[in-house]
Amino acid sequence: MQAWETIEQALDYIEGHLTEEIPTESLANFVGLSPFYFQRLFKRLVKKPVQEYVKLRRLTRVIEALKDPEQRILDVALEYGFSGHANFTRAFKETYGITPEEYRKDLQMLNTFEKPEISMQYVQIDEGVPLVTKDMVLEIYKKTLKQAEIYLGFETKVKISGQAPVGESMGVDVPGQLWRRYHLEKGSIASHLNTGVEMGMSHSADPLRGTFAYFAGGRAETIPEKMEPGFIKKELPEGEYIICKVEAESFEKLVTHALDQANQYFFNTWLLHHRLTTEAFSAEKYYRDAEGMACMEIWIKPLPLKNEGTGENQR
């Protein structure tokens, strides 16, 4: 058995026992490794210590449970292994920056730590050859956009540090909140939209401030003579793109687990293997009218990695 398969066994065990006590030593025994080696291997592959990962997965389940107003916060906390209200509140606020009571009041969208598909880190696919996992289908190919596409929507600044999995903390899901606003207000410009295509765009990163700009909106069929308050026009420019197409069983799975795993694979495995980096820009196109499976695409403009030791781009 490969080392990564051992850790995937542990992840599957954790998922099935999140409401129970999960000592690190018991996990190590379950997969047949020493606690010392298991913890080192787990952190290397999952990017989190064992008990930190367990806590984050429990909090992900907690977020869903708290949406039910019939469940008491204390009962939810105890069900998922927290010793009491104070302990639970501290863990929740340290992770998300708000208390469980504040979350339940407004139901803000929060970043969550999804269960990783570690096997994807060790699979290389050719262009146009689908990668099929138990939760999604992924395919990578090149495309030339001959004419710019125009979108109408909202834009905001986002702190990189608070956006998992790029940042180190979970925080409020600011892009998700922007999408929520767009879907609440898009009716005012509905006559100008192709309702089957929507786009999220990350761009204009500012390393000094630790922020980037995020746009959320719909494909424009026509441009209004006067924009509604708050709405802006954003262009997906013409040019050469590499596209990662993702399909999942439902839209909810598509924009959570599938999108997270696709981003991890596309940027941290596939592009690195092909010695490519990207412009400081990426777009997510969502196809609302796709039949069968929920579908989206991640669009990037590729750049070659710099040669080691020369500082010059490969040509």
Instruction: Give, for all 315 residues of the chain, the pLDDT tens digit.
Output: 688 899 999 999 999 999 999 999 999 999 999 999 999 999 999 999 999 999 999 999 999 999 999 999 999 999 999 988 999 999 999 999 999 999 999 888 998 888 988 888 888 888 889 998 878 899 999 999 999 999 999 999 998 876 665 555 678 899 999 999 999 999 999 999 998 999 999 999 888 888 999 999 999 999 999 999 999 999 999 999 999 999 998 888 898 888 989 998 999 899 988 999 888 899 999 998 767 779 999 999 988 766 544 444 433
Tell me how far apart the alpha carbons of residues 146 and 240 are, in angstroms, rounded to a whole number. 9
Amino acid 313: pLDDT: 42
> Which phi and psi (to 5°) does residue 172 adopt?
-70, 140
Amino acid 122: pLDDT: 84
> Could you tell me whether strands 136-145 and 239-248 are parallel, antiparallel, or unpaired per DSSP bridges?
antiparallel
In the Cβ-directed half-sphere of 59, how many Cα atoms lie within 13 Å? 27
Amino acid 255: pLDDT: 87
The residue count of the chain comes to: 315
Structural tokens at position 28: 């190590």
Amino acid 164: pLDDT: 60
In the Cβ-directed half-sphere of 152, how many Cα atoms lie within 13 Å? 24
| DSSP designation for 122 | G
Tell me how far apart the alpha carbons of residues 52 and 38 are, in angstroms, rounded to a whole number. 14
Tell me how far apart the alpha carbons of residues 131 and 262 are, in angstroms, rounded to a whole number. 10
Structural tokens at position 60: 């992900």
> pTM to 2 decimals?
0.83
158 burial (CB, 10 Å; 0-12 / 13-18 / 19+) is: buried
Cβ within 8 Å of residue 270, ≥6 positions away: 124, 125, 140, 244
Structural tokens at position 42: 């787990």
Amino acid 293: pLDDT: 78
Amino acid 166: pLDDT: 55
Amino acid 172: pLDDT: 85
Tell me how far apart the alpha carbons of residues 84 and 133 are, in angstroms, rounded to a whole number. 38
Which uninterrupted H or E stretch holds 4? helix 3-16
Tell me how far apart the alpha carbons of residues 315 and 229 are, in angstroms, rounded to a whole number. 46
Tell me how far apart the alpha carbons of residues 68 and 151 are, in angstroms, rounded to a whole number. 35
Tell me how far apart the alpha carbons of residues 260 and 277 are, in angstroms, rounded to a whole number. 18
